[in-house]
Chains A and B, each alone.
Chain A
Amino acid sequence: MQNREELKMAEKIGRVPVREQDPKVRAGNFEEVCYGYNEEEALLEASRCLNCRNPRCVQHCPVGIRIPEFIAQVRAGAFQEAARVIARDSSLPAVCGRVCPQETQCEGSCILGVKGEPVAIGKLERFVADWSRAQGGVPVEKAPANGIKVAIVGSGPSGLACASDLAKLGYDVTIFEVLHKPGGVLQYGIPEFRLPKQRVVEPEIDSVRALGVKIETNVVVGRTITIDELFDREGFKAVFVGSGAGLPRFMGIPGESLNGVFSANEFLTRSNLMRAFDPSSDTPIFVGKRVAVVGGGNVAMDAARTALRLGSQVTIVYRRTEKELPARAEEVHHALEEGIVFRMLTNPVEILGDENGWVNALRCIQMELGEPDASGRRSPIPIKDSEFEIPVDAVIMALGTSPNPLIAKTTKGLETERHGCIVADESGATSRPGVFAGGDAVTGAATVILAMGAGRRAAAAIDAYLRP
């Protein structure tokens, strides 16, 4: 520790709280929950950073943002300079500042967290990104164009990160996106109140375009064009597959095909991508008076909080306890504040319907925790004769997603493992020369920032593969 005085001071100041919309008010709107820091708050929070000589936060950032360096710039009031430091390693800082699970990454390893509260790295990143964007962003250094074409499949976090790095190296990059708007999960998955689309996602994607990256929407790689055709007909020299994990899972319990049972993907896609929450949108959405959301991850929190905002009474049903909830701590905290009921150690066994085939109750069984399983978490075991019913009009299944098999199915020689994930090494190289992959398509459903890390590593590997 370089300076005991500094450490004491930082612990004494305490983490600067962030302003948020009142829970009662925000439960009825889709405006962003968190307001973020203003300049004064950011300066104060930045002053808490000890600028460690061996910064553990950087080691725990999947894209390796030079965290103490950017925070030092914030502390000096050089916000644009701070943005430049971040831009070297991340193309989506305004997104990551909002959706990263900082508590298990940078902030989780912050030395201040040992005794007190870690530096609010995420909130500072968000402040810098928002401030810089309001000033028109930062110009990024770019190598001269080399004319070598690289195709990226999917415009989600891994694809955008890979495309940015390759464009900075001078490659001619085209992203193919299947949906009508680019962004992948940032667009269809994460709700407006957590990640505003027009104010945050779209400008951040525009900054990737500003590097010269072309984005073609409405292209189904595997159907509209195959990976072989991208090589043979269109002259691409390498392809990065970042097609995500889009296929929803269901439980396989009776009643899942009843009217009123939705995957979280369907529910969220209607609300986020199709903007069904907005009366000017043509897309319908169904929320009953009472809805049960099954699952404990970020997607479950997002679905629950969306349903709440659309006017439903929401219960989250999760088979383990609060401690095991895989969602970000902030999302669970926000959900509780907004009045969402959590039923822990509860697992659905059947969905019951009325005579017209519409859901009217969720039949559950009480669970208890047994021995730790392969994931190290104590596995839930049903308690005999403890079944009960929760009356609901809708059930939303948020049980995780699997990769879409379409690309693997239509690309000769592209190996997948038994869960349908594309087999790729640490650099993203697949069984097929010239084809790289990363993000959820390789790992199964994970986080935005891990996908971005994989995209960046693949960009470096593609550069090494193509460089003469």
Chain B
Amino acid sequence: MYKITRKAMLTPTICLMDVEAPRLAASAQPGQFLIVRAREEGERIPLTICDYDREQGTVTIVTQIVGASSRLICALEEGDCFTDVVGPLGCPSDFVELPDGALKGSRYLFVAGGLGTAPVYPQAKYLHERGAYVDVVVGAKTADLLILRKEMSAVCDNLYVCTDDGSEGHHGLVTEKVKLLLAEGQHYDQAVAIGPMIMMKFVALTLRESGIPLTVSLNTLMVDGTGMCGCCRITVGGKVRFACVEGPEFDAYQVDFDEALRRQTIYRPQEQEADHKCKIGRN
């Protein structure tokens, strides 16, 4: 039952796990996500699918400790089991629908922020394997927090690193690096940004004038993840959409990011309370 077959701490607060979920591994596609529960009393936590091995029947997930529930997930060890893993959820990335031949030679730019590197990986891999040209810009606070560099390098043409503190690569924000690439004359048929909501908002503002289509993957709050609760609703092009079943990927230029940012905070007071209690329990 959803056994963890491999666990690696990528940074002190980010862990990678391979989890047995054969049906899910057999059907997962780039762009989709899954939901886990770490224990019987556990919350349903949506996580992006970082990779899948159809033969082994495992999926790879990457979790960052940001609160009580993600701390519980990261505390599980190899050989432990998740209480529940369900998916794949959401729609696959649009390019999955295209015939393989159509992707050859097309030029993709990915912008990944922090944990967003995990969901970018299977997309870059899928496109790279089908002959697309793939550039990836990844951003992190500091070099120690960069994840999946080796893996990502293997599935893209150029990997550009940005760090807030200048400890590696471009010293500054991913949006600055994107502007530099465009100024150099790089052209792209499609861009994809996945990371914190605020980063996606600014990538959208940066790229809007370039005319390059931009897709973002929205990490909204969710309960069931199957369209039932409406907790994930966002406004896209003036219309209410459910990120869990109609997304998670949307046309960035149509997304109301300010509303999405605000809606992410609905349960923040309770989450902080939960984390606080949890810390006391541990001490």
Contacts and interface: CB of A to CB of B under 8 A. Distances in A.
B283 interface: no
A246 B267 contact: no
Contact of B86 (A220, A257, A275, A356): A220
B44 A224 contact: no
Nearest to B83: A180
For B23, B32, B37, B229, the residue with the greatest tally of chain A CB atoms inside 10 Å of its CB is: B229
Given A220-B86, A223-B89, A247 B23 contact: no
A100 interface: no
A223 B240 CA distance: 23
B223 A246 contact: no
Interface string B45-75: 0000000000000000000000011001000
Most chain A beta-carbon neighbours within 10 Å: one of B39, B226, B263: B226
Interface residues of A, number: 39
A195 to B, nearest CB: 18
B24 interface: yes
Contacts of A259: 262-263, 265-266
A391 to B, nearest CB: 20
Nearest to A250: B240
B228 A188 contact: yes
Given A246-B226, A269-B228, A284-B270, A274 B262 contact: no
Interface stretch (B108-116, B208-216, B230-238): B230-238
Given A224-B88, A257-B233, A274-B44, A247 B27 contact: no
B223 A266 contact: yes
A247 B270 contact: no
A48 interface: no
Contacts of B88: 220, 223-224
Interface residues of B, number: 43
Given A259-B265, A282-B42, A246 B230 contact: no
A180 B86 contact: yes
A155 to B, nearest CB: 14
Interface in B215-263: 223-224, 226-231, 233-235, 240, 242, 245, 259, 262-263
A247 B89 contact: no
Contacts, number: 119
A225 interface: yes
Nearest to B262: A357
A220 B274 contact: no
Q: DSSP class of B's interface residues: helix, strand, loop or mixed?
A: mixed
Given A404-B227, A406-B227, A180 B262 contact: no
B263 A220 contact: no
Which of A223, A248, A270, A404 gathers the greatest number of chain B CB atoms within 10 Å?
Answer: A223
Contacts of B84: 180, 217-218
B41 A265 contact: no
B87 to A, nearest CB: 7
Contacts of A270: 223, 229
B271 interface: yes
B17 interface: no
Interface in A266-292: 266, 269-270, 273-275, 280-286
A204 interface: no
Given A220-B89, A259-B266, A247 B235 contact: no
A34 interface: no
B77 interface: no
A326 B84 CA distance: 36
A349 interface: no
Contacts of B228: 188, 246-248, 265, 269, 404
Interface string B145-164: 00000000000000000000
A219 interface: yes
A270 B39 CA distance: 16
Given A257-B234, A270-B223, 18 more contacts: A180-B44, A218-B86, A220-B226, A223-B32, A224-B27, A225-B27, A257-B235, A262-B230, A263-B229, A266-B223, A266-B230, A269-B223, A274-B43, A274-B44, A284-B43, A284-B267, A356-B262, A404-B245
15 contacts: A179-B86, A179-B224, A219-B86, A220-B86, A220-B89, A224-B23, A225-B27, A246-B227, A250-B233, A257-B240, A266-B230, A269-B224, A270-B223, A270-B229, A285-B270
